[in-house]
Structures are given as C-alpha cells and as structure tokens.
Amino acid sequence: MRRRYGESFDERAGRYAKDKFEKLDREYAGPRRYALWVHAVSVGEVQAAYPLIRQARADGYGGPIVVSTVTPTGKEMACRMVAGDMDLHVYYPWDTTSAVESAIAHIRPWGYVAMETEIWPNMLFCLGRAGIKAYLANGRISDRTWRRLQKPFGRSLLGVLDLFAEFHVRAEQDRDRLLALGISGEKIFLTGDTKVDAIVMRKRRADTGPLGELLEIPHAKERADRGVFVFIAGSTHDGEDEGVLSAFEEVRREFSGSRLILVPRHPERAPEILRRLPAPLQGVLLSSLERRDACGEKVNFSPGSVLIVDRIGVLFELYGLSDAAFIGGSWVPKGGQNILEPTVWGIPTFYGPDMGDFAEATERMTQLGVAVRANDARALGAGWMRVARGEFSPNACVGEDFARHAGAAERTWERLKREWKRFEHAHAS
C-alpha cells in the first residue's frame, strides 16, 4: 500500500504532518477556525465543486475551505482550479473509523459536502456522532448506481443515505430515484447541475491562444477555407483509441491535411498509444511540443498527424480549438464523460451508446442538434465527414441553453449558508 500511494499514504490513513494545519490554526481564530470541507473524488468532481466554492467566496464566506480528493489528478486539478479560494488540500481518508475520526479532528468542519456520488458509511456515521451535518451536492443517481440500488444489498444502503442532512440534486430523475428509495422529500432540493456553472465560467476565462500557437492551429475560418479540420477525442479509455484512429483515417482520405487530437482519460497511457499508432499515421506527444523550443527538438503537430495529450488540464481549451469532438468513455461501459465541455464551444459532438453518467445533458444537447450518437468507428467517421463537408451546422441556441441552466452553485450555497449561519451563531454565543 505504501508503494502504491507513496507520500499520500499517511494522509489516507489519517496521519498528518505537524505543519499540515498550521495555516488554518494561525489565520483563523475562534469559530472562524471551523472549516467547510468539500470532498471531490477526482477531476470531474473538482470541476463540479469549483463554482460552489467560488460562489461561497463571492458571497462573503470568510472561513477556511478544505478540499479533499482521492486521486492525484484530482489534487492537481484542485490546486490549479481553486487554489485562490481553498485554504488546504488533503487526501481523503480511507473509510475506517480511526482514519475518519482523525481527519474530522484535524479539519474541524462545520459542514461536510460530498460532490455527486461519494457515499462513505464510516464517514457519515462519524460526522453524525460529532454533530456535523453532511450534504450531497450536485447529487446524481446514475443508471449504473440505480441498478445496484435495486439489489438487496443496495437497498440496505438506505440507512446510510439517510445520514445526509440534505441532497442537492442535478435533475428531476435524481430526485425521483431518491424518493423511490425512501428518502424524505423534505431533504431533497432540485438545485441543478453545478457543472453547467463551471463550464460557463471556464469558457469565459479560457484563453486558447497559447495552445493554438504551440500547435500551429489556424483560426476556424482559415481552416474551413483550406479544407483542413481539427478533430478531438476527449477522455478516451482503453478499447476506444483504435476506433477513433480508424474514424480519423476515413476523414484523411478526403481531407488529408486534417489533424486529430487524442486525449486519453489517463495520461500515462499516452506513450503506449503513440507506439501503437498504425502506419501511415504519424504522432507526437504534447509534452514533446512543449519542450521543443528549449531542447531544439524537431517535432511538429503536422497536417494529417495525431497529437496525443499526456497531461491533464488542457482538454477544455483543446475543445475550443477543434471543429468536432468525440466523447470518450462511451464506447466502453464507463458512463461517458462530460458532454458539456465540447458543446459549450458549439462544436458538433459525437458520443457512443453509454452516456449514463451524463444522461440528461446528453439528451438535452442531442435535442439542440449539437450532439449526435455514433455507435462505432464507422458512424464516427461518417459524422466527422459531414462536419468537414459542411453538412453539420450546430444549433445557434446552445449558448442560450447554457445560460438558462446556470445558477446551481448559487442555489446550493444558499442552502449551505443556512447551516453556516446557524453554526456561527451557536458558537459565537
């Protein structure tokens, strides 16, 4: 276990360095030392938590905010995305009584917010014993989770779910499923999807210029005039890369100067994907381009080639540089990835049959005409060809749809703020 987790092992076991909480103890006094603890398991959950944390700060919340993640990539995203608003990152403790109680004692939360589907029994039991309310924010009950909950063991989790003080859910389906499980309707609030807020905020702040220059990608109009296009496959899993490459080769037969950006969900797979590129495709790693100038390497993301991205944090801007996208995790049983990231840019987006984790958003984007299902490589190649031939024009109302569905972070924080004010008043007196 130590070899697997390295330096994060002690934190996961509830053991912390002596100076880990020094900043919180030094900068916050009295009731202000109690923290808002936001748990986001990995990259996607951090992105969902970001607008909620930003809303709390914008509304004047001045207490400490502690963010926990399970994965190192989640930590990296948290330290990059919410560094200015959070006070501390910790690795989430293993769900044993000793590790959880130690984490609670060190963090000293006034409230605990788990993002999306993070349900850990010992954590919830220990928080309850300590008198700390737990909330499920941006809550969702995916098709996969729902099927599991129908089984005898799954139904037994009702007692654990009921330990949450409130459920702030994304959609009516999530609310209905919780009600069907026996959760009281008084605990369930339909707040919407904070990832919509996150996407809108990120697009507003995004700067595709530096990446565009590094990759030497012309502006969209110039690409169309020259008949060269940039296609992207985002967050692909093992078993999907070959189909994406096959679809791209179909496009290259007619539009030979087009380029493909392939972004594996797990960046460590990138070198292996590069090694397995079928002839005559040529590829290059993003890291090679980034160190090209400093090291004098003669590598380029040339027309007709494939860029394989071997780091996190750039996918969103890469969508903004592309003409059409494919959503990974949908040709294999992974529930899909966030379809809102490419569609907010208004680019045609294709997805496979398994988008259960983003079912509502997928249906909405499909109805708007910006997203289309492609069950296999052949369908994806045909879809990308339609884009290149100018036969696929996304609906201009996509931006209006995003604006209409924003506001979940504000609604969620308004519920959390009630507990903070109650806690603050109780401890002040």
Question: What is the rounded CA–CA span in Å between residue 150 and residue 223?
Answer: 50
DSSP H helices, 206-347, are 209-215, 220-226, 241-252, 270-275, 286-290, 292-295, 315-320, 340-343
Alpha helices in 92-135 (DSSP H): 97-107, 121-129
Q: Is position 45 annotated as part of the catalytic site?
A: yes
Look at residues 135, 347, 339, 332 and name the one whose alpha carbon lies nearest to residue 223. Answer: 347
- Nearest of 197, 195, 193 to residue 48 by alpha carbon: 195
User: What is the rounded CA–CA span in Å between residue 371 and residue 361?
Assistant: 10
Selecting among 45, 101, 317, 341, the annotated active-site residue is 45
What sign does the dihedral 40-44-46-52 (CA atoms) show?
A: negative
Q: Which residue has the tokens 């996304």?
A: 394
Q: Positive or negative, the Cα torsion across 140, 145, 149, 150? A: positive
Q: Are 8 and 76 in contact (CB under 8 A)?
A: no
The Cα–Cα gap between 104 and 108 comes to 5
Report the alpha-carbon distance of residue 298 to residue 284 in Å, rounded.
11
d(CA 138, CA 408): 8
Q: Which residues contact 400 (CB under 8 A, 6 or more apart)?
A: none
The answer for residues whose C-beta is within 8 angstroms of residue 48's C-beta and 6 or more apart is 40, 115, 116, 137, 138, 193, 194, 195, 198
What's at 247, amino acid-wise? A
Residue type, 4: R
CB–CB of 316/202 below 8 Å?
A: yes
Task: Write out the catalytic residue numbers.
Answer: 45
